[in-house]
Structure 1
Amino acid sequence: MQIGGIILARYNSRRLPGKALKDIGGKPILLQIYQALRQYFSQGNIVVATSSSPTDDPIAAFCKQHQIHCYRGSLDKVAERFYDCAKHFGFEFAFRINGDNLFVESRCIVQMMADVQQDASYDFLSNVKERTFPFGMSVELLNTEFYGHCLEKFQQDARYQEHVTLYLYENENIGERKYYFNTKTPEAKGAHLAIDTPEDFEIAQLIYAQMLEPNNTPPLADLIRYYKQAKKKYEASLER
């Protein structure tokens, strides 16, 4: 079974331009995510999916420099880009990983991989439902053939094209599903760990400085403790 990890990334973010290649802990965010995933995927099964727009040339150049597979597709039709990338590389199942999700939820990745290898009838696996995990630690795994059929239904819908799995959450009756919930660290719900703004970036740097093993996302309870301390330190800096 071919299971791939697709990192969706673009360079020209409105709120934090160039965020995918901004440096944290001595490495670009995109490289941090890639190296975290390399613990679970072979090099050939991780792809950065960016757009064919010239604005994303820096991401393509970065991938070439670091020998990372890069797929270039539609700028605005992100869902189509994700699906076309999965088909191009022959992935039967494809993880959707966001290029601003520095803190990879590896435990969900490992469990989802094990679950589809044991039962290939699943179409959609996700830890997003009810948002018990922090924003920025989303992990979703899709059966490529199933997702292709879904894409045919919303091909021209800009809202579903932009938000890759929104159609599935709004149409709960389709597909065989499995959801994963965080029950051990309830204080993690609502935490914002995605790097989307300058504030997010500063807080992520402060979190990263506290991590004992920078190349590995710490247990969720520790990560949330680091997050709270980082947020408090950031807010204190604004008051000076």
Structure 2
Amino acid sequence: MKIIAVIPARYASTRFPAKLLQDLGGKTVILRTYEATLETKLFDDVFVVTDSELIYNEIVTNNGKAIMSIKEHESGSDRIAEAVQNMEVDIVINVQGDEPFIDIEPLQKVIDIFKKDAEKKVDLASLMFEIKDKTEIENPNNVKVITDQNGFALYFSRSVIPYPRAANVGVRYMKHIGIYAFRKQALLDFYSLPMLSLEASEKLEQLRYLEYGKRIKMVETTHASIGIDTPEDLERARKILSEKE
């Protein structure tokens, strides 16, 4: 089974333009993410795929592997699908370019889902962790997910799901972490299918998979991701890095 990691990297960002090229302890955010992904030693290969010559050059001048997108893309899945469509791979892991503190354990968990899935019932695997703070739960930037009893995703939303009409019924609120593992065919299917209303409404690409009947296996982790979506997030990341060093 050939497993690769692909890091989709857009230059533009609504909340924080050029965030991937910001300095984080002497290296850019995207370079730190790329190097951290390599250092896990979980993958047969690691690529950055981007629409930006600046990001492309940042990776290749530091002896990394990068691919320039040919087309404009609405989502990371589209960008990755274009990049891997002619590659001989089985599983593709999407690592977010703005998460430089990647951990081995959660990545290993999503890879293991496919290694144990002999009947190929899983199209995608992804991660979630429990959140309890009311402000975190209600924050629309935190995507929530609900699953069935077997851990397959039923729905993702920026809204509070489930709605807490009744208290003390054992509901846990799970935040989605944007690391995906795809079977290559599921990724190519996504690339060929048009966006439908749920995805368009929530601006969540994972809903396209659900709307077309793909099965997303969710894996719980205790490793909360540290994404960089705002200048404040970057300052927090700089503080974390200085503490690590």
Same-fold call, TM cutoff 0.5: yes
* Structure 1 residue matching 2:94: 3-state secondary structure: strand
Q: Cα–Cα, structure 1 residues 95 and 210, in superposed 2: closer, same or farther, change >3 Å? A: same
Alpha-carbon offset, residue 174 of structure 1:
2.4
Q: Name the aligned partner's letter for residue 75 of structure 1.
A: E
Of Structure 1 and Structure 2, the greater strand share is in 2
User: TM-score w.r.t. structure 2 length?
Assistant: 0.68
Aligned positions of 1:152-191 closer than 5 A = 152-154=192-194, 159=200, 163-168=204-209, 170-171=210-211, 174-182=213-221
Letter in 2 for 1:63: I
Gaps of 5+ in 2: 129-144, 147-172
Please say if residues 3 and 93 of structure 1, whose CA atoms lie closer than 8 Å, have aligned partners that are also in contact: yes
Amino acid at match of 1:66: N
Structure 1 residue 20: Cα displacement: 0.9
Q: Percent identity?
A: 21
Which of 111, 114, 128 in structure 2 is aligned with 1:113?
111
Residues 111-152 of structure 1: CA deviation (Å, up to 9, x unaligned): 22233123251211011435745x7x5321011112222332
Q: How many residues align?
A: 197
Match of 2:231 in 1: 198
TM-score of the superposed pair, with normalisation by structure 1: 0.70
Query: Shift in Å at residue 106 of structure 1?
Result: 2.4
Instruction: Spell out the pairing of 1:18-57 with structure 2 (5 A cutoff).
Output: 18-41=18-41, 45-51=45-51, 56-57=52-53
* Contact 1:4/1:41, CA 8 A, preserved across alignment: no
Matched, 1:124 2:121: no
Q: Deviations over 1:10-44 (max 9, x none)?
A: 22334323211212122211121112111334786
SS in 2 for 1:139: strand
Cα shift readout 1:134-178 (whole Å, capped 9, x = no counterpart): x7x532101111222233222688849x7442312x43x823442
Q: What letter corresponds to residue 72 of structure 2 in structure 1?
A: L
SS in 1 for 2:47: strand
Partner residue, 1:75: 72
Structure 2 counterpart SS, 1:47: strand
**Helix, strand or coil for the counterpart of 1:110?**
helix
Shift of 1:109: 0.7
Q: SS of the residue aligned with 1:30?
A: helix
Of residues 125, 129, 140 in structure 1, which corresponds to 2:180? Answer: 140
Separation in 2, partners of 1:34, 1:45: 11
CA contact (8 A) 2:91 2:183 kept: yes
Decide which of 58, 62, 65 is 2:54's aligned counterpart.
Answer: 58
Indicate the SS of the match to 1:95: strand
Contact 1:105 1:138 in 2 (8 A): no
Paired residues for 1:92-111 under 5 Å: 92-111=90-109
RMSD of aligned C-alpha atoms? 2.9
Unaligned stretches of 5+ in structure 1?
A: 215-240
2:39 aligned counterpart, secondary structure: coil
